[in-house]
Amino acid sequence: MMRVGLTGGIGSGKSTVAAFFEDLGIPVYNSDAKAKALMAEDKTLQKEIIGLLGEEAFTEGLPNREYIASQVFPDPERLGALNALVHPAVRKDFDRWAGEQQTPYVIQEAAILFETGGYRNMDHTILVTAPEQERIRRVMQRDGAAEAAVRVRMERQWDDARKAALADFVVHNLTLPHTRQQVEQLHRQLLKLSYSAGPGDC
Ligand code: ADP
C-alpha cells in the first residue's frame, strides 16, 4: 500500500485538496482530527499526557483544549514533548487504518507533516501552497478569526520554501478549477507510481 503525505500551511487549501482526492476514490486519513479523537479515547495516551501536563489536562475524561494550549503553545519544549506522545499514537492508528484500505494508494493529511518528521513514514509527499495574504484572507473568512490570530498560528509552522525543499509534489491552490486539474494529474502520476512499486511492496 503506497502512502502519500499531504500537507500545507493553514489556509493553503490542504483540506480542499484532500476532498478532491476523496472525490477520485482515494481514502484520506485526517491526522489532526484523529489526534483529537485519540486524545479523547486512548487511555494510555491520556495517562502519558497527564504525566506531562497534570490532571487538569482532562475534564471528565475529555481533553481540556484551552488548558493544554495554554501549557504547550508558549513553550516549544513542552509542545515538542506533547507531540512526541501524540504522534506515535497517530502513526500507529494510521498504520492500522492504511492496512484496511483496498486502493492503490492512501493519503495521510497532516498540518505539520515535515515539522514532525512524519513525512519519513510516507512514500511520497504533496505540499499545498497559496500566497500568504490569500491564506490569511481564507482563514479569516472560514474561522471568523482576526488577522493577528491567524498570523500567530502561521508562525508555528515552517514557511513554504522550507517545506517545498522536502516535498515531492507541490499543488498551487489559486483557483479551484485549476487545483482540481492539478489533483487529477497528480492522481494519474501516483497511480503509475503505485503500479511500478508493485503489489505487496509496502
Ligand atoms: P487548510 O486545510 O489548508 O487550512 P482549507 O482547505 O480549509 O485550508 O481552505 C481554507 C478556506 O479557504 C476554506 O474555507 C476553503 O473553502 C477556502 N478555499 C480553499 N481553496 C480555495 C480557493 N482555491 N479559492 C477560494 N477559496 C478557497
Question: Predicted confidence band at 198 (pLDDT cuts at 50, 70, 90)?
Answer: low
Tell me how far apart the alpha carbons of residues 25 and 17 are, in angstroms, rounded to a whole number. 13
Tell me how far apart the alpha carbons of residues 58 and 51 are, in angstroms, rounded to a whole number. 12
The model's pTM is 0.93
Give yes or no for residue 118 CB within 6 A of ligand 1.
no
Average pLDDT of the chain to the nearest whole number: 95
Give yes or no for residue 47 CB within 6 A of ligand 1.
no
Give yes or no for residue 15 CB within 6 A of ligand 1.
yes
Q: Is the pLDDT of residue 17 over 70?
A: yes
Q: Please answer whether residues 197 and 155 qualify as being in contact, where contact means their C-beta atoms are separated by less than 8 angstroms.
A: no
Q: Is 25 exposed, middle or buried (0-12, 13-18, 19+ CB in 10 A)?
A: exposed
CA of 12 to the centre of ligand 1 (A): 6
Partners of 62 in beta bridges: 59
- Ordered by where they begin, the domains of the chain are 1-27+105-196 (3.40.50.300), 32-100 (3.40.50.300)
The residue among 122, 119, 86, 127 whose CA lies nearest residue 106 is 122
* Mean pLDDT of the region 167-188: 98
* Mean pLDDT of the region 117-127: 95
pLDDT in tens, 83-92: 999 999 999 9
* Mean pLDDT of the region 44-64: 96
Give yes or no for residue 13 CB within 6 A of ligand 1.
yes
CA of 199 to the centre of ligand 1 (A): 34
Give yes or no for residue 173 CB within 6 A of ligand 1.
yes
Tell me how far apart the alpha carbons of residues 58 and 39 are, in angstroms, rounded to a whole number. 9
Q: Is the pLDDT of residue 199 over 80?
A: no
Q: Is 133 left (phi over 0), alpha (psi -120 to 50) or beta?
A: alpha
Q: Is the pLDDT of residue 200 over 60?
A: no
pLDDT at position 150: 96
Query: Mutate which of 16, 137, 156 to test ligand 1's pocket (most atoms within 8 Å of Cβ)?
Result: 16
Give yes or no for residue 10 CB within 6 A of ligand 1.
yes
- Residue 9 CA: which ligand 1 atom is closest? 3
The residue among 200, 179, 157 whose CA lies nearest residue 32 is 157
Please report the DSSP string for 9-40 in residue order.
Answer: -TTSSHHHHHHHHHHTT--EEEHHHHHHHHHH
Give yes or no for residue 87 CB within 6 A of ligand 1.
no
